[in-house]
Structure 1
Amino acid sequence: MKMILNLNIDHTKRMTTSTPGQPSATTPQQQPASLTRRMPPVLLLLALKGCVATTPPNPDPHPTGSPPGRAHQTGQAGQLPGVLVMAHGGGPEWNRQVEAHVSGLRERLPVALAFGMANPHTLQAALDSLEQRGVGTVAVVRIFVSPESFLQQTEYLFGVRDDPPARGMMGHRMVKGDELPRLATDARILIDRAGLAGSEQVSRIVVDRARANASDLAETAAVLIAHGMGAEDENDRVLAWMESAAAALRDAGMAEVSVAALREDWSGPRERAEREIRATVERMGQRWSRVVVIPYRLFGFGPYAKVLEGLEYVDARGLLPHALVSEWIAARVTDTLCSAGLASPIGPCGPRRARNRFK
């Protein structure tokens, strides 16, 4: 019996088919069939009667992904911990790089990938895949630069909050939030709220990118450019998180560093951002021998070549490929499981360190 985490709505059970040897990564094109039915009251009472917490006491009163006061209901979930990795998704090489950087986890515990912007179809298929392998606790790690990206939608889909976003993403289509289908699972869900932005690993990657593209940092300037957010307060937070990487570049000896967000999906703010970014790169080019543009994004150079057309600069790569991205993912898995009072197959639970986590 599968039960939706929010018991106030019809529970949805989704079925998927799998072929031996297929990768566990799920793309937006793989949309499992679904059917909806209402659970009889008698069965619901029996299921609730059998719900007994078996995990150790949680040392953190606000565990990652588990809002205080929210009871978790279980059915016939297995005992193993597993990881569901959420990523935006892109072209074949984009997806291949993400897969390559989570492959090391597969030696320690079950892993499933869900590409798409919190796509409920790929998320459900990934959950089904993990449960079929005996997973009873799922650590959801989101490989997004901003910790706020699709967070409310993700929490709503998994049933850890009751209020849907005003608007949600269904693949590349925008829908009303209450049209998003809730996910069906027997597993305990632990959602990590951290983002890559502001992390120690990203700062170290950015310094590596600068050194790979400049022989003399003392005569080189750098511009970090992120995708950015639409709302001013959210965009300001992204810029603030980027400052840790900018500080690491200055500490490494970089002559001048600037951070910017293109705000790619919002026409008005983007036009202003394009003018400011071009002006910054042009000014730096007049003062320093080289300008390195470092994309503060997971993979690729994004649309920045078109934005900077006609200007002189050196383009660096995004965060992938780099072994430190794998390190960040492993650290998020361990932190998420340890925050819930569970042992991590990835590594020991150590002292809690400061991390970029949106609350």
Structure 2
Amino acid sequence: GGHGGHGGHGGHGGHGGHGGHGGHGTAAPAPPSRIASSAILTTAGGLDAHPLFAETLLNRALELSTQPAEETIILTAHGVGDDKRNASWYVTLKALAEEMVQAGGDAFRGIEYGTWREDWPAKRKPEIKRLRGIVEAASANGGRAIVVPARTLGTGPEAELLKGLDFLLGSGFAPHPNFAKWVEMMADEALAELTLLPSKATPPHPEDAAATEESGEAASSR
């Protein structure tokens, strides 16, 4: 009986969900955070060149790195079928590469990037050929290719599409402490946008403001 389960650590500080204690119902926080993150990704239309994301991708490369001056990091993204939207993926990848350079990635020989577009047969051939060429060039003359998927979870089709080439393969954004931070920031931003919407339609009342203040510590501490 009455030992009150999870007392003590009070509340829902957004970092629950990975605590490995007790399989008796305390594992419940995990699914919502995953749902939240995929919902945010869907609404945000994929990842942007967030400094936390760039830092994590650089960490992934550093985990595999022995001589950065001889190594090229190659960021690979899923991409999309639509050419205009895929071009915007390239803009994001370029910005990520630039963020990585700022964060210490300039120690590497270079940072390259590309999209696979593997779900679109008509589009993927030139992309795969291009990325294979980049990996081949990076691993020539004593160089090493470190392929890092620019995606939230795990890896994509890299191992299969780069078969026969010499490269090291890193993992994506999650699991990593920065991913949790990033999801929390995205959620805060999404909530901030949602709370702004109704106030345009209805004039704010003082009692509303008080209620928001009580419930929105996170917002006011920013």
Does structure 2 retain, via aligned residues, the 8 Å contact 1:142–1:194? Answer: no
Q: CA RMSD in A?
A: 3.1
Q: Does 1:347 align with 2:208?
A: no
- 1:234 corresponds to which of 60, 85, 98: 85
Question: TM-score, normalised on structure 1?
Answer: 0.45
Tell me how far apart the structure 1 counterparts of residues 192 and 95 of structure 2 sit (CA, whole Å): 26
Q: Which amino acid aligns with 2:101?
A: R
* Residues 248/329 of structure 1: CA separation in 2 closer, same or farther (3 Å cut): same
1:291 is aligned to 145
Q: CA deviation at 1:287?
A: 4.4
User: Match of 2:130?
Assistant: 276
Report what 1:142 is aligned to. 39
- Are residues 226 and 100 of structure 1, via their aligned partners in 2, closer, same or farther at CA, if it must alter by over 3 Å? farther
**Between the two proteins, what is the percent identity of the paired residues?**
22
* Alignment partners' CA distance in 2, 1:271 and 1:325: 32
In structure 2, stretches of 5+ residues that fail to align are 1-13, 20-25, 197-211
Does residue 222 of the first structure (1) align with residue 73 of the second (2)? yes
CA distance in 1, matches of 2:99, 2:39: 24
Q: Does structure 2 conserve the Cα–Cα contact (< 8 Å) formed by 1:224 and 1:295?
A: yes
When normalised by structure 2's length, the TM-score is 0.70
Answer whether contact 1:330 1:346 (CA < 8 A) is retained.
no
Aligned AA (1:142): A
Aligned match of 1:202: 53
Q: Which runs of 5+ in 1 are unaligned?
A: 1-82, 84-98, 116-138, 152-192, 352-359
Classify 1:314/1:111 alpha carbon distance in 2 versus 1 (closer, same or farther; 3 Å). closer
Retained in 1: the 8 A contact 2:148–2:172? yes
Picking from 16, 26, 32, the partner of 1:112 is 32
The structural deviation recorded for 1:274 is 0.8
Shift of 1:328: 0.9
In 2, Cα distance between equivalents of 1:259 and 1:324: 21
Shift of 1:244: 2.5
SS at match of 1:197: coil
Does structure 1 retain, via aligned residues, the 8 Å contact 2:132–2:162?
yes
Q: Secondary structure at the match of 1:298?
A: coil
Whether 1:249 and 2:100 are equivalent positions in the alignment is yes
The DSSP-based 3-state class of the residue aligned with 1:258 is strand
Cα separation, 2, equivalents of 1:291 and 1:285: 5
Q: Which amino acid aligns with 1:199?
A: H
Asked if the contact 2:18/2:30 (under 8 Å) is kept, the reply is no
Aligned residue number for residue 264 of structure 1: 118
Separation (CA, whole Å) in 1 of partners of 2:116 and 2:46: 18
Does structure 2 conserve the Cα–Cα contact (< 8 Å) formed by 1:338 and 1:349? Answer: no
In the TM superposition, residue 336 of structure 1 has moved relative to its aligned partner by: 2.3
- Secondary structure class of the residue paired with 1:333: helix
Q: Distance in 2 between matches of 1:262 and 1:231?
A: 13
Residue number in structure 2 paired with 1:14: none
Task: Judging by fraction of residues, say which structure has more helix.
Answer: 2
Whether contact under 8 Å (2:51, 2:99) holds in the other structure is no
The answer to whether the 8 A contact 1:207-1:248 is kept is: no
